[in-house]
Structures are given as structure tokens and as C-alpha cells.
């Protein structure tokens, strides 16, 4: 990435504070009946006031046309190239349920599955057992298997037949094959190493699977083995403190976003359960940090549900909540989303995301409402999201001159 | 290219159809008397309706300020990096006259030229002999030379003194020098190999030139030899079917565009002579393909002629013709050009090209007329043309999420 070639030369520390407000899945599409998007429908005087006092635009999370998951979308917003730094599926799974990863840990996604006496997989999802049954099984397994060959094994229920596994120890490698035959009616595979360094990991995993099968053999459940995939280690990402000389706080209530923030070195504030908790935390911690990432989830989850009205209500709720931080002084406030989640598409999308940057060092444009169409006419134009972090740092006067 | 790093991971097949309407040389410049461009002058209710219902912008064919030929301009529109995939001059010459290239063919541009008894080039264009005379000579040569050392030689007249040559056989290489001394009064050069692999090709070409000179020695013509340049093989380009999982049809009446479409793996519909043929073909073939590239030539040729009124008339003609495909349902329609050809410049230019994308998954902006100045204010902004294909695929819901 071009920025990384000069960032070290220009970044400097100062006292100025930056607030990054991320409304997850912010961007939308017009309602077929009204022709208005969720943002165009919502009453949101405080968000509009930010747009009016700031400089607006749209941001492209990854590339034109590409729909990002939360991982790549957040990395972009944090100023890291999401194509260069791809986060493994296993890592996202463990972060998503709030497991903490350490350096050298190996993260794995797992499925309970049904096999017959000949090790033929008869149901790759073990009949989608309930989350409760999953919990009982995971507890039973975790009680009997704490470690294998000095590698600590940490297992947690995700949902229904899904579980997450962390291996913690020396010499672990993600370069192993899956044991999932991908199709029912085929035998479960042995995990094999893709290179010499991964042989130990393959042995540990095969022993783990064998012991899980022994334990499950005596239990009345359709779950008779586990299929493993998404083997991945923690990605190497230069932390915020070192890269931007910031002291960053993550103010989020969902595990995934706390996990992503931790990957880039943020202090993750614990015990927050709601947007009210988050607003209170921002007030309480204002003096202790110089960068705040505040995450709001409901705009995404209501969009994923395809519930237009609920997304409008979520926007209005966030609008009301941020009125309570108006008195806090930030050199730069950025209001945006990580990606779009239009209710009409019931999922993440590729559409550029509204963006407003408020700073006394920015020129305010004539955009006076925070919507997709209004922001498209802002002075920032439509820009790759990876630039946002650099614009925030610039407006907070945290860059020295490049060249003489 | 960044896209190529993730395209394989996200592309998926579905039933949705995409229509790419390319008005060659679309963009223009204001007429000195009226201050209005060709698009601003033309009456074009159907094009304006597409702009009104879609999302508009301008596209930059290659790079800011760069005037592209048809080759790079089309590669960009098809989503391939035109700087990475440079198409040789020889290849463009043979495609331009409708010759079909096979893998491993070597394409060459040739000139008839005049030499004296000492092999001094006295006229590099053989007095610009007529196209008819060229044809007579080419037939005579082709009759006597079918192959050399097992390499098939295929020769065709281009225009005046120009001809195109295809070598078809094993072990051919473009890495040979030209025989053109570049200046009159100098001796014609021998073709030499730039590396060992090219020695055979150089020998074949020198023998070919010697035999052509023998044949022409006995004919009453100023053409006494041929100068060869633009040696090039077919470029390696991942075909559309594999890259985008599309079944694409090229609906064009000019050889160059059919040739370019064939390079990227499109099915080239044969026997089309006019825009009426093209519109009929689109109607007839609607059910058989999921991607249609429809090319309209007259906007470019009238611009090249410097005929402002004729270009206005061409725009109006295309506007009238597309009314006949209104009833066809496409998930995405894209209306644009490959590059600009302003009448006042009498040639291709670097100016960004008007672009409108119509899709129910796009937000329509407030652009209601399809002109350079109106599109510049559209929501798409001014974007590199290489992104267009990816935006079309996204709007046709042909991308899975990138990352989790």
C-alpha cells in the first residue's frame, strides 16, 4: 500500500482527539414504494447537523462492486489494506463469539456431524442440533480434553451444530487439510499436513478428533464427530499505537467488533451491552484516550433482517443517542458505516457508504443531510474507505510534511 | 490488478442478464459556435430516459489524460487492465480486417515499399498504390507462397500500401527486428532474431521477403518489397466465461470489435452489417446469453471525420434504434462509450466518457440527460473504466461477499 511507504516518516503524536462513529451496514437502497432510502426516510437532526457542519462523501469499503464482510470492511476503515490483510474464517468465528486470541493461536471453525460405524458422514450438520445440546456436548468434551501434546484446546459453542476451537501452544500451523469430505455418503478424511512444519498440528488435530469421537460415542446425540475447517492464525497487523501513535479505545457491544478492534491493537472496553452503555463509556473515558471507535450494530442487523422500518428506527435511535456526546470536544469526528446493508437486499452490499468528517480544519460543503444521494455530492467525493483514517489523522494535525 | 486477487473467490453464476451498450467514441467537445457538445445538441429521448432512470458518471478509459486506441479502451470496459494486457499492433491490424487468429499465430503489419537495384528504400509506401493494386499483388503473392518451412503464410490487403500477414505454425516468436530502415535512402535491413527462440521466425521471414521480391520483380508496380513491423502473438487473456462465469455474446458489425470480443472469449455473432441487424440479433438471441456487448460505430467514425452534425445524427440514430429493445428485460443495462472522439479534434481523445447504469439494485441520481456535463454530476462520479464491469456484475448480484 502506498501509504505504508511514507506513514512512518510523517506520523506524529499530539493531544488531539478523534472520534470514529461506525453505524454498521449504514448505506441502503430506496424503498420500492416511496423511492426513499432508510437514511432518506429517517428523522435524524443530529446526524444531519454533523453532515451540515462537515465535509461529506461516500466511501468504497474494498473495491468497486465488492460486497465486504465485517472483517475487510473494518480493516479498511482502520486504514489497513483488506486485500493484503485477509483475516481467516476461523479467526473471525472465534472473534465473533468473543474468544480472545493470542499470538501463535490457531483458530478453527467446527461442525458437529453424524457418522456411521464405518466413518461415513451421514449428516454434515448432525441434524442441526440445538444450541443447548451443543453447549452440553462442548462442556463434556472440554471437561475431558484440556490439552493434547502440550497444546491447550479451547472449545466454545457458536450456534446449533457450529463450534469454535482454539489451539494454543508452540509450533502450530494453519497449513493442514480439512477432514470434511464435503458430501454426505463419503468417509470422513484424516487431516494431513501441507508441509513439514504442519505435521505436528495435523497429529494433534487427528488425536483430538479421535478423542472427541470416543467421548461422543457414549452420548445419546446425533453429533458423533466434528468436521474442522477455516484453520487460521492471527494475522500480522501493525498495531494502532505503533502505526498511528494513537491510544485507541474500542467502544462496542458485539464480540466481532471488539475482536477486530483488538486485532489492530485497540483497548477493548469491557462490559458494554447496549448503545447506552457505549455512550456512557465514551463520556467516562473521554480523558483517557485520543482515538475512539464507537460501533453501532442495529443498522446492520435490521438491514440483514430486511426490515426497512426497523432500520429507519435504528438510525433514529442512534441519532438521539449521539446528542448526549455533543458536549465532548473532538478535533475530528467521523460519521460513517463499515459497508451498506440495504433492507431490500437483506444483506451486506457493495454500495458506497455515506461519510461525514467534521473538523475545524476541513472545509464544510453544502451537504446538509446525511443520506447516500446527498453525500454523493459532497466535497470528499467517492473515495476508497482506506483513505478515511488518513484524512482523520490529517485533520487532527497528526502528520508532518512529506518531503521538504 | 487488485480485482484479480479476489475475483475468483467472489464471482458466482446466476440467471441475471447484463446489456453493455457501447457507442464508440461517444464523448465530445463543445461546438465553437454553440458551446454545446454533440450529446448536448442531439435529440435523444431514449438515451436521456436511461440516464434519468439510472446512476450516472464519467469513465476514464486508461489513465487521466491518456487517449486510448480501440484495443485498450475496450479491454478496460471488459474489466481487464489495458496496461498489463497490451495487444500488439499486428494483432490489431489482422483483427481490424476480420482475419481470425489462432493460438500461436504470429500477426504482422506490412507495407508495400519501393527499393532500387541496391536494395535502397526509395519510397516506404510504394507511392501509396491503390487498394485495388494492392489486392492484385496480394493475390499474386498468396498464390505462389502458401507456406515456408511448414509455416503457413496468410496475407491480406488492408488499404492502399498496407497489408496484414499471419504466420501459422510451430515455434514462432515475435522477438525479431523490423526490416524497415525507417528512412528513405537507406538499405532495407535483414530481419534478425532478438533471442535464440526467434531464430527460426527470422529465417522464415527473410525467406518470405526474398520470395516476395522475386515475385514483384516481374510485375509492373512500384511495390518491390514489403516492410514488416508490429510482430505480435495473441495475448493471454482469461476468457469471460472463466473469469466472470458469463455466457457472453458480441453483437457488432465492424471486424475490429468482433476481434477484440473474440480475444476475451465472447461468442461473436456473424453476418451483422448494420445497427438494424444488431438490434434484431439482440432480440433474437436474448434467451441464449447472459451478457451482451452491443457496439455502435458511427459515433466514432463521424467524430474522426470531424463532422459534428453527422455525429449528432449518429447519436440520434442510435437513440431511435434502442427504443426497439425496451421490452427486453435486463437486470443491468450499461450505456457508455469506449472513449471520446470529439468532432472538433477529429480523432480519439482522453476525455472521460459518459456512463449510465440502470439497475433496480442501484440508486438513481438526479441526472436526467445523457451528456458529458450532466453525467459529471452523477452519483458514480468519474471512475476508471475498468471498474465498470465490476459494478455491472455487482448490480447483477453475481458477487459473493468478500471475507466474513
Q: Quote the Cα angle for A186-A191-A192, to 5°.
A: 120
Is B404's CB within 8 Å of A92's CB?
Answer: yes
Contact list, B365 vs chain A (CB under 8 Å): 373, 376
Local confidence band at A2 (pLDDT 50, 70, 90 cut-offs): confident
pLDDT at A382: 97
Contact map slice: B 384-403 vs A, CB within 8 A: 387, 390-395, 399-403
Kindly list the residues from chain B whose CB atom is less than 8 angstroms away from the CB atom of residue A72.
402-403
Secondary structure (3-state) at B131 = helix
- Burial string for A120-153 (b: 16+ CB within 10 Å, else e) reads ebebbbbbbbeeebbeebbebbeeebeebeebeb
CA distance A87 to chain B (A): 7
Q: What confidence tens digit (pLDDT) does each residue in A269-291 have?
A: 999 999 999 999 999 999 999 99
Closest CA to B108 of B240, B278, B232: B232
Do B390 and A68 make contact, defined as CB atoms within 8 angstroms? no
Residue of chain B whose alpha carbon sits nearest to that of A95: B404
Give yes or no for a contact between A87 and A263, defined as CB atoms under 8 angstroms apart.
yes
Work out the pLDDT band at A216, boundaries 50, 70, 90: very high
**Set of cell numbers at residue A154:** 479451547
Q: Architecture of A2-85+237-395 per CATH? A: 3-Layer(aba) Sandwich (3.40)
A57 close contact with B: CB closer than 8 A: no
- pLDDT confidence of residue A257: 94
Nearest chain B alpha carbon to A85: B403
Report CB contact under 8 Å: B402, A70.
Answer: no
Q: Do A63 and B6 touch (CB under 8 A)?
A: yes
Residues of A in contact with B10 (CB under 8 A): 66-67
CA distance linking residue B129 with residue B210, whole number of Å: 21
**pLDDT computed for residue A96 by the predictor:** 87
Contact B336, B21 (CB under 8 A): yes
Pairing of strands A248-251, A291-296: parallel
Of A29, A72, A92, the CB nearest to B402: A72
Digit-coded pLDDT (tens) for A225-260? 999 999 999 988 999 999 999 999 999 999 999 999
Nearest CB to B403; choose among A68, A93, A347: A68
The pLDDT assigned to B96 comes to: 87
Q: What is the pLDDT along chain B (404 residues), one digit of tens a residue?
A: 889 999 999 999 999 999 999 999 999 999 999 999 999 999 999 999 999 999 999 999 999 999 999 999 999 999 999 999 999 989 998 988 989 899 899 999 999 999 999 999 999 999 999 999 999 999 999 999 999 999 999 999 999 999 999 999 999 999 999 999 999 999 999 999 999 999 999 999 999 999 999 999 999 999 999 999 999 999 889 999 999 999 999 999 998 999 999 999 999 999 999 999 999 999 999 999 999 999 999 999 999 999 999 999 999 999 999 999 999 999 999 999 999 999 999 999 999 999 999 999 999 999 999 999 999 999 999 999 999 999 999 999 999 999 88
Computed from CA positions of residues A254, A258, A263, A264, in that sequence, does the dihedral angle turn out positive or negative?
positive
pLDDT in the model for residue B161? 95
CATH numeric code, A93-233: 3.30.70
Q: For all residues of chain A together, what is the average pLDDT?
A: 96
CA A322 to chain CA mean position, Å: 22
Q: Do A67 and B401 touch (CB under 8 A)?
A: yes
Q: What whole-number percentage of chain A has pLDDT above 90? A: 94
Find the CB nearest A65 among B363, B364, B393. B393
Q: What angle, rounded to 10 degrees, do the helices at A70-77 and A255-263 form?
A: 50
Tell me what pLDDT residue A66 has: 98
User: What cell numbers appear for A361 in the block?
Assistant: 480544519
First-to-last alpha carbon distance for chain B, in angstroms, is 22
| Rg of the Cα atoms in chain A | 23
- Residues B394, A350: C-beta atoms closer than 8 Å: yes
- Is the CB of residue A59 less than 8 Å from the CB of residue A352? yes
Query: Which residues have CB under 8 Å from B322's CB, separation 6+?
Result: B21, B46, B47, B279
Q: Give the separation between CA B243 and CA A169, rounded to whole angstroms.
A: 41
Residue A404 pLDDT exceeds 90: no
* Model pLDDT, residue B2: 87
For residue B290, give Cα distances in angstroms to A60, B11, B401.
27, 15, 21
Residue B1 has what pLDDT?
A: 81
A69, B403: Cβ pair inside 8 Å?
yes
Establish if A36 touches chain B: CB-CB under 8 angstroms. no
Which residue, B206, B189, B226, B218, is CA-closest to B113? B226
pLDDT (tens digit per residue) in A300-324 = 999 999 999 999 999 999 999 999 9
Domain map (residue ranges) of chain A: 2-85+237-395, 93-233
Cβ count within 10 A of residue A392:
23
Q: What is the CATH number of domain B8-84+238-395?
A: 3.40.720.10
Q: Within 10 A of A326 (CB to CB), how many other CB atoms are there?
A: 9
Are A372 and B363 within 8 A, CB to CB?
yes
Region A160-166: mean pLDDT is: 95
* Nearest alpha-carbon partner for A20 in A348, A368, A260: A260
Q: Which grid coordinates belong to B131? A: 487498394
Distance CA A240, CA B198 (A): 54
Length of chain B, in residues: 404
- Environment class of A92 (CB within 10 Å of its CB; exposed 0-12, middle 13-18, buried 19+): buried
Amino acid at each position: 500500500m502506498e501509504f505504508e511507504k511514507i506513514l512512518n516518516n510523517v506520523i506524529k503524536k499530539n493531544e488531539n482527539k478523534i472520534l470514529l462513529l461506525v453505524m454498521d451496514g449504514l448505506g441502503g437502497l430506496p424503498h420500492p414504494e416511496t423511492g426513499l432510502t432508510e437514511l432518506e426516510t429517517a428523522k435524524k437532526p443530529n446526524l444531519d447537523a454533523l453532515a451540515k457542519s462537515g465535509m461529506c462523501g461516500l466511501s468504497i469499503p474494498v473495491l468497486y462492486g465488492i460486497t465486504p464482510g465485517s472483517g475487510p470492511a473494518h480493516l479498511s476503515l482502520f486504514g489497513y489494506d483488506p486485500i493484503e490483510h485477509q483475516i481467516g474464517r476461523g479467526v473471525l468465528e472465534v472473534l465473533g463469539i468473543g474468544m480472545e486470541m493470542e499470538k501463535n493461536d490457531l483458530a478453527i471453525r467446527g461442525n458437529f456431524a453424524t457418522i456411521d460405524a464405518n466413518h461415513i458422514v451421514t449428516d454434515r450438520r448432525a441434524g442441526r442440533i440445538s444450541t443447548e445440546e451443543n453447549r452440553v456436548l462442548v462442556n463434556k468434551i472440554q471437561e475431558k480434553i484440556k490439552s493434547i501434546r502440550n497444546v491447550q484446546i479451547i472449545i466454545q459453542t457458536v450456534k446449533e451444530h457450529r463450534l469454535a476451537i482454539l489451539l494454543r501452544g508452540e509450533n502450530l500451523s494453519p497449513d493442514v487439510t480439512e477432514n470434511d469430505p464435503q458430501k454426505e455418503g463419503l468417509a470422513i478424511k484424516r487431516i494431513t499436513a501441507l508441509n513439514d512444519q504442519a505435521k505436528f498440528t495435523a497429529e494433534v488435530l487427528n488425536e483430538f478428533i479421535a478423542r472427541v469421537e470416543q467421548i461422543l460415542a457414549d452420548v445419546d446425540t446425533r453429533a458423533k464427530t466434528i468436521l474442522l475447517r477455516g484453520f487460521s492464525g492471527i494475522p500480522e497487523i501493525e498495531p494502532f499505537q505503533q502505526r498511528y501513535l494513537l491510544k485507541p479505545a474500542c467502544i462496542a457491544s458485539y464480540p466481532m467488533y471488539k475482536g477486530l478492534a483488538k486485532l489492530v491493537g485497540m483497548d477493548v472496553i469491557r462490559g458494554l451491552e447496549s448503545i447506552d452503555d457505549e455512550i456512557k463509556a465514551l463520556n467516562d473515558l473521554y480523558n483517557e484516550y485520543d482515538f475512539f471507535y464507537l460501533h453501532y450494530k442495529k443498522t446492520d442487523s435490521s438491514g440483514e433482517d430486511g426490515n426497512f422500518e426497523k432500520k429507519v428506527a435504528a438510525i433514529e435511535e442512534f441519532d438521539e443517542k449521539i446528542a448526549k456526546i455533543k458536549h465532548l470536544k473532538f478535533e475530528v469526528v467521523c460519521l460513517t458505516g463499515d459497508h451498506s446493508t440495504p433492507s431490500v437486499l437483506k444483506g451486506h452490499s457493495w454500495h458506497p457508504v455515506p461519510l461525514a468528517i467534521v473538523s475545524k480544519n476541513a472545509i464544510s460543503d453544502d451537504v446538509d443531510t446525511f443520506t447516500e444521494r446527498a453525500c454523493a455530492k459532497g466535497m470528499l467525493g467517492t473515495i476508497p474507505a482506506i483513505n478515511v483514517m488518513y484524512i482523520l489523522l490529517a485533520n487532527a494535525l497528526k502528520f508532518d510534511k512529506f518531503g521538504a
